[in-house]
Every structure is written in C-alpha cells, then in structure tokens.
Structure 1
Amino acid sequence: MVSRLGLGTMTWGEGTGPEEAAAQLAEFVDAGGNLVDTADVYGGGRSEQILGQLLRTVVDRDDIVVATKAGVTPRGYDSSRRHLLAALDRSLDRLCLDHVDLWQVHAHDPATPYEETMAALDEAVSSGRARYVGVSNYGGWQLATAATWQRAWPGRQPLVSDQVEYSLLQRDPEREVVPAALDSGTSVLAWSPLGRGVLTGKYRNAIPADSRAARDRLEDFVAPYLGEQSARIVESVATAADGLGVTPLAVALAWVRDQPGVAAPLVGARTTAQLRAALQAEELTLPDEIRDALDDVSDV
C-alpha cells in the first residue's frame, strides 16, 4: 500500500542537496506520504546515497516504501541479468539497505530477451533483495508481454507497476499502457504529472530565469510542452483553479491522481516550498464537470 502521492528524487544530488532533501522527506512523511522513488542513475548514484542517509537520520525506514530502478547506462539500455543484478547490489550499498520495496526495470531493452530480464526480477525477490518488482517506460505491448510472461508460470513474480510519463499534456498512456495495466492488474505510477513543470502555469507569460527551460541542459526537456496546444490546456487548468480557489498545480495533480489505473503521481520538487504546494492537492477532488472539461481540452 502506497500513499496517493509519491516523492520523486531525480534532482537529489544534482540541484537538491542533502539538507534540502532532508527537509523534503520530513515534510512528505509528516503529510502522510510513504512512496519515495529513486534510480541508480539519478545524480550519478548520489540520489540513492542521500536517501540512504536520510533513512537512518530523518525518518524511520519502516515508514517508507523505497523504490529504485536499474537498466539505464551511459551507453544506453541494458536489461541483461548481469547488469541488472549487479546494479541492484550497488543500489543496496548506496541505500545502506538489505532490500528495496519496489525494484523497477528503468526502460525496455530491445537487445535483451524478456525472459532474461524477468528472470533477474524473479531472482531479486527470491534472494530477498526486493519485495516487489515493476517496470518503467514500458509501452502497452511491452507491458502486456512482460506481465503475461510473469503470470504464465507459478513462482514468477507478477509485475506490480509500470512507471510512465502521464499528465494533461501527455495522455498517450491512455491509448495502450493504461488498458494493458488494468487488464494485467498492474498499477501505473505517473512521472512528470505536472507536464515537466508547465502545468504549474509558471511559463504562461515568460520563461523564469530559475526554471528548467532556462537551463541549457534541460531546455529540450521542457520545450515540447511550450507550444500553442499546451498553452490552451494550461489556460484551462488555470481557469479551473481560479474557480475552485486552488492552484493550477493542485488541479493538474488531482486530475492525474484520480485517473483509472493510477496508483500515485510522482512529484519531484526542487524545493520544500514546491513540495508543500504539491501536497495540498491531496485535499482536492475535482468536480465531474471540471474533469470533463479538462478531458475535452487535452484530448489530442
């Protein structure tokens, strides 16, 4: 069982230092959150190291569902048994843990057979190094293939989640991923539920100097969501927020949180103030007429 909002840690160790990370984690747990998602490549491993330290000094390990990922390398994707299990051992060392609660294949690797990748997940659970397993960035047919393989024989570990980008600006998962997840009993974890920050409304008039879009390394990450269609969706979110007396951020988060198949959106905040604003979305349930209007304007 996980909280309806997860804490993403991609910026930890790269823009978010240990003190700020500690404040975020304390704020998150105080608000009732428990799902914390990281990966072996976040901050070059620093994200896992920081989380491992905080699990000993800031929060009780038993209060946190620790999720991490492996399978992305500087050379591309590698979901071979050799790479995955070695990466898991390194993650456990950085986290100072003997097991993680959820271990995920970070991306589909077309060069490695499904049966080899899935066997690595089985071994992670059978050896006690992971409690549950899932995937990330798997398309609909990829998820269906992997989930079916895991359920085809007793003793294999079922996939419990597929972590994909999902927001009012990115509704592609509804075409295949969500139906595949619902059919296979797999939950969806939504990364970038705020449309890479665009749905907060901060880009409505200009590009803030301290935003991702203003940084050379991240400019291309945000750029696809700064077009006219995205602007219309953002304006609709802002209008809904004004009518409800809440922030656009809260509206965007509540929308994806309550979509069919979604277990939790994962919010990665650069500051504690940003995280605090996101946590306020838990108090919001969108009226049906507003949800329908947002569905219509974002249906592309």
Structure 2
Amino acid sequence: MKERHLGRSGLLVSRLALGTMTWGHDTDPDEAAAQLAAFVTAGGTLVDTADVYSDGDSERILGHLLRETADRDGLVIATKAAIRPNGRYDGSRRHLLRALDASLDRLGLDHVDLWQLHVYDPATPLEETLSALDEAVLSGRTRYVGVSNYAGWQVAKAAAWQRAWPGRAPVVSAQLEYSLLRRDIEREVVPAVLDADAGLLPWSPLGRGVLTGKYRTGIPAGSRAAAPHFSEFVQPYLDEECGRIVESVVTAAEGLGVSPLSVALSWVRDRPGVAAPIVGARTAAQLAQALESETLTLPQEIRDALDDVSDMSAAHP
C-alpha cells in the first residue's frame, strides 16, 4: 500500500486507514484480529480508534492485539477524546488529559502517534482545549495532534492559534465525514484544512455503506440500516438524490470491471488534501473488498462524471 505524509508533517501513513468503531460491538475480538492481520499484510499502517468507541472496548481489543500479534513499531496508532461516556462534549484540559491517560492504559502503550480532539466543545475556551494538546506532546504521550468534526472556522482558528507561538503542537490532521454523498465540507472545511497544511482523514468514505450499492433494491438483513442502533445513521442517504449518485458509481464500476466500493473509495482517496480515508468494516471479508481499491486509479473522465453527478447545488458562501 502506498504511503502519504499527513499534511505537511513528517509522519507517513498508509493511504487507507483502518477504522475500529465497530470493534467490541458489531465486531468481536477474533474478527478484529483478522481485520488487523489483513490490513497489515496489505501494507496498511494507520489504525484509528477513540476512547468512546464501544465504551472503551475498541481500544482494549486493539491494545490486546498490539501486545499479542501486531508489530507496534510498524503501525501508526491514532485515538480521540473530548466526548464523555454520557455523550456530553468536554474539551476541558482536565478531562482531555485524564481521557488520554485512560486511552493509553486500555491500549497498553506509553504513547500514541496521533491524538485528536473528537469534537469541538463550545463551552470550553479553545485555548484551554489546545493547551492539552501541547501538554500531551511535551509529556511524550503523543507524537502528533489533530482535530475531528470541526467546522471550517474552527479548524482555521485552532491551526492559527497553534502557529502563533513557537513550541505549540501544530494541527496536522482533520477527521471529517467525506464521500460522494457528503461533499459539503468542500465549501469551507477543506479549504481551511489545506490552508492549515493539515491532512484530511475522511470517515465514512463509502457514504455510510450506501455507495457499495447494497441498498439499491432494499435493506438487506444484517446491514447497518437494518440494525436498530445504526438505522438512523444510514437513513439520510437512502433518498432519491443519493440513489442517483449510487447508480452512477455502479455504472462506472461495471465499465471498469471493479466493485462500486472500489470506485467510491478511490474517488475520495485521491481528492485534494486527503491523506487516508478511514474504512470501518464489520467483517474481515468486507475489509478485504476495501483493500482491493488500492490498485485502482480512476480515469479522469470517470472522475469528472462522478464530480458532476455529485456536485453540490449552489450555496453561499
């Protein structure tokens, strides 16, 4: 698998990341082990988790695998904090540093490679939140820091604050939802990320699974849309407009002799500023399909056609 620098930092990451949100919930430890093994065999390095995924079980499973089967030095481990178990946002210095210590304990590590602010907390002054990033780097508990789910102005403000004084930890990444079905971040967030010299880490690059084409004729049993805890997450992308985009992806895939998944993933992987889309598969078999996209580079005429069919309506600004 090819590698890219994460923004303008010196950190190299695989251009596809392994997401672990389902680990400990829909993905059991054995299946997680199979996923990690397949990912590493394919040359993948960036593994993303968070302290709140499956109430910490995602980090616990990953930590066990790092101790038992994986080459820690060959992997780039990323986690996140700023959401309490009850769902409340908390960007206070107190909570963030306690959360990082708890993550390191679950992972069985003395440091992570990338620590990200999971959400923006409007109730805490941003300078306080960012001071926790500086402390985490200075104390050796993380090597790099980033943000997640920030609006364009929030990315710009955080990046500018960190640049304003020597010794502050620069924001090297921004994790956001981005796919052919979710291009609104191109209006303000992507330009802010590019201006900040950060790398974009798209989550849900397959449009919450809809771009695989599996919902074209209904909702399959066992799919996320059929699961009570995920149905509302998928439902917004099952409308007519999204269906039209999916059909274009399917047509492109048929013409290229590949899967719709590979087409959709290749499209977002090669967008400006993207370092690595994060693929969160439920099974190792699903992950194997995503890994096949590594060999695909979309012809320009197909990229143009997909750009046109998924183009956002005019908006201001």
Distance 1:91 1:51 in 2: 11
Which position in structure 2 is the counterpart of 1:51? 62
Is 1:158 aligned to 2:170, yes or no?
A: yes
Distance 2:171 2:116 in 1: 9
Deviation at 1:286, TM superposition (A): 0.3
Question: Among residues 291, 297, 300, which one is paired with 2:309 in the alignment?
Answer: 297
Which position in structure 1 is the counterpart of 2:141? 129
Higher fraction of helix = 1
Question: Among residues 9, 20, 25, which one is paired with 2:36 in the alignment?
Answer: 25
Distance 1:232 1:180 in 2: 29
Deviation at 1:15, TM superposition (A): 1.1
Which position in structure 1 is the counterpart of 2:284? 272
AA of the residue aligned to 2:273: G
Distance 2:200 2:187 in 1: 13
Is 1:91 aligned to 2:103, yes or no?
A: yes
Is 1:38 aligned to 2:82, yes or no?
A: no
Equivalent pairs, count: 300
AA of the residue aligned to 1:41: V
Deviations 1:75-112 (A, max 9, x none): 42101000000000000000000000000000000001
Question: Among residues 175, 178, 187, which one is paired with 2:199 in the alignment?
Answer: 187
AA of the residue aligned to 1:4: R
Is 1:65 aligned to 2:73, yes or no?
A: no
Pairwise CA RMSD of aligned residues?
A: 0.5
Deviations 1:237-262 (A, max 9, x none): 00000000000000000000000000
Q: What SS does the corresponding residue of 2:14 show, helix, strand or coil?
A: coil
Deviation at 1:268, TM superposition (A): 0.3
Q: What SS does the corresponding residue of 2:15 show, helix, strand or coil?
A: coil
Which position in structure 2 is the counterpart of 1:8? 19
AA of the residue aligned to 2:243: A
Distance 2:150 2:172 in 1: 13
Q: What SS does the corresponding residue of 2:144 show, helix, strand or coil?
A: strand
Which position in structure 2 is the counterpart of 1:145? 157
Which position in structure 2 is the counterpart of 1:167? 179
Which position in structure 2 is the counterpart of 1:81? 93
Is 1:217 aligned to 2:216, yes or no?
A: no
Deviations 1:144-190 (A, max 9, x none): 00000000000000000010000000001111111011111011100
Deviations 1:39-71 (A, max 9, x none): 000010000000001011111100110000000
Q: Which runs of 5+ in 2 are unaligned?
A: 1-11, 313-317
Distance 1:75 1:265 in 2: 25
Which position in structure 1 is the counterpart of 2:315? none
Deviation at 1:282, TM superposition (A): 0.5
What TM-score results when the alignment is normalised by the length of structure 1?
A: 0.99
Is 1:226 aligned to 2:238, yes or no?
A: yes
AA of the residue aligned to 1:91: S
Q: What SS does the corresponding residue of 2:307 show, helix, strand or coil?
A: helix
Distance 2:159 2:50 in 1: 22
Runs of 4+ in 1 over 6 A off after TM superposition: none
Identity of aligned residues (%): 72
Distance 1:58 1:6 in 2: 19
Matches within 5 A, 1:94-133: 94-133=106-145
Distance 2:90 2:63 in 1: 25
Which position in structure 2 is the counterpart of 1:235? 247
Deviations 1:196-240 (A, max 9, x none): 000000000010011111112211100000000000000000000
Deviation at 1:287, TM superposition (A): 0.4
Q: What SS does the corresponding residue of 1:77 show, helix, strand or coil?
A: coil
